[in-house]
Amino acid sequence: MQFVLIGTVGSTLITLKTMVEMGVSKIYLFSLDSSKSKRHSDYIDLKPIAKQYNIPVKEIININDPETMNSIASLNPDYIFVIGWSQICSKEFLAIPRKGVIGYHPALLPENRGRGVIPWTILQRKKETGSTLFWIDEGMDSGDILAQESFPISIDETATTLYRKHEDCLKRLLVSSIPKILDGTAPHIPQDHSRATYCSKRTPADGYIDWNLPAESIWTLIRAVTHPYPGAFTFYKGKKIIIWEADYVGEAPYFGLPGQIQNISHEGALIQCGDKKHILIKKVQMENGMEVLTKNIFKNHDKLGLDLLALYRKLTGDMNNEKGSGYCSTS
């Protein structure tokens, strides 16, 4: 039985390894051309692992490209797994395998169809999520369910930890489903489309921190878009910094402005937010630099965020300073 696997991220790697462990012998891998690696924030170069397992691999850009489809069709696949790929499969593509196209989604379908699902799950403050193997159709994550498993979400869950939970869940689903796929007994369970919800695409710009928001909201954003995603970001002394790790603190005996650094300790920098509550920033990265501890770059009472007055002056050419602002001189 011939299998084709298409993907380029961590879930693809999990699938490839599990298929090998389960004794699937005829596998052909199609992965993303490395020149387009920035298309996925969690991109993985799968060529080394494919070489290790003696699995043929071809790099592609578009699965619906006629040349790509012809290459796949020439293999006469029984099944195609599309796991870790961001394009919707065309009708022509879906007709290639003899027995079906199988996909994976990090949500309990029909909930949270679409893009950016792991960050959105945290931003939605869900207490439970799960993983789904499903039969891909022409819609967006709308095909029949093959297998599904739920698991709880921790109150301090991050994108990093949730990503790992999904990978572990995917492996369990594959281990239980591959024997059924091989013997032709894998189920087709229709989704309840009336319960469908959808997640919109996210971009790196969506990680911008508005310090006027409540502390809990800012902490949630930081957790939702940390590794392997682009990260939540702000500005410090005019330079962009990414915040990779933070804790929620809440009340603290400090009074200041949103985004103001209230205290610096060996644990991190305490930042006041719009609701006068606080978060503790623990690890940041200067733009195009290394990840560093906050105590090494921040100073007490400085402010994070855009200096709108300085930006206005730069744009308008108004370089006047505070002289003549109404304060009296005693000299």
Cα 165 from Cα 176, distance rounded (Å)? 17
User: How are beta strands 269-272 and 278-286 bridged, if at all?
Assistant: antiparallel
In a domain, 323, yes or no: no
Q: Are 181 and 218 part of one and the same domain?
A: no
Give yes or no: residues 86 and 188 share one domain: yes
Give the domain-ending residue among 199, 234, 262.
Answer: 199
Structural domain includes residue 88: yes
Strands in the chain per DSSP E:
3-6, 27-32, 57-60, 79-82, 100-105, 113-114, 128-135, 145-152, 198-199, 232-236, 239-250, 261-264, 269-272, 278-286, 291-293
Is residue 221 domain-shared with residue 185, that is, in the same domain? Answer: no
CA-based torsion, 63, 66, 71, 73: positive or negative: positive
What is the C-alpha radius of gyration for the chain, rounded to an integer number of angstroms? 24
| pLDDT exceeds cutoff 90 at 311 | no
- The predicted-structure confidence for 129-160, as pLDDT tens digits, reads as follows 999 999 999 999 999 999 999 999 999 999 99
Same domain, 50 and 182: yes
Asked whether residue 26 falls in the same domain as residue 48, the answer is yes
Domain count, the chain: 2
Q: What is the CATH number of the domain that holds 292?
A: 3.10.25.10
Using the CB atoms, write b or e for 78-101: b if 16+ within 10 Å. bbbbbbbbeeebeeebbebbeebb
The answer on 224 and 192 residing in a single domain is no
User: Checking DSSP bridges between strand 27-32 and strand 57-60, what pairing results, if any?
Assistant: parallel
DSSP lists the bridge partners of residue 233 as 208, 242
Query: What is the token pair recorded at 91?
Result: 């009708």
Reported as a pLDDT band with limits 50, 70 and 90, residue 325 is very low
Considering the domain boundaries, does residue 327 fall inside one?
no
> How many residues are there in the chain?
331
In a domain? residue 324: no
Q: Quick one: 217 and 311 in the same domain? A: yes
Residue 329 within any structural domain of the chain: no
Q: Note the pLDDT tens digit of each residue in 251-289.
A: 999 999 999 999 999 999 999 999 999 999 999 998 778
Q: How many Å is the maximal CA-CA distance in the chain?
A: 93
The pairing of strands 100-105 and 113-114 is unpaired
Same structural domain, 284 and 299? yes
| Shared-domain flag, residues 175 and 214 | no
Q: What is the pairing mode between strands 128-135 and 113-114? A: unpaired
CB atoms within 10 A of CB 56: 11
Co-location of 73 and 158 in the same domain: yes
In a domain, 159, yes or no: yes
pTM for this prediction: 0.89
pLDDT above 60 (res 69): yes
Domain span holding position 286: 204-316
Based on the fold, state whether residues 52 and 192 are members of the same structural domain.
yes
131 with 213, same domain: the answer is no
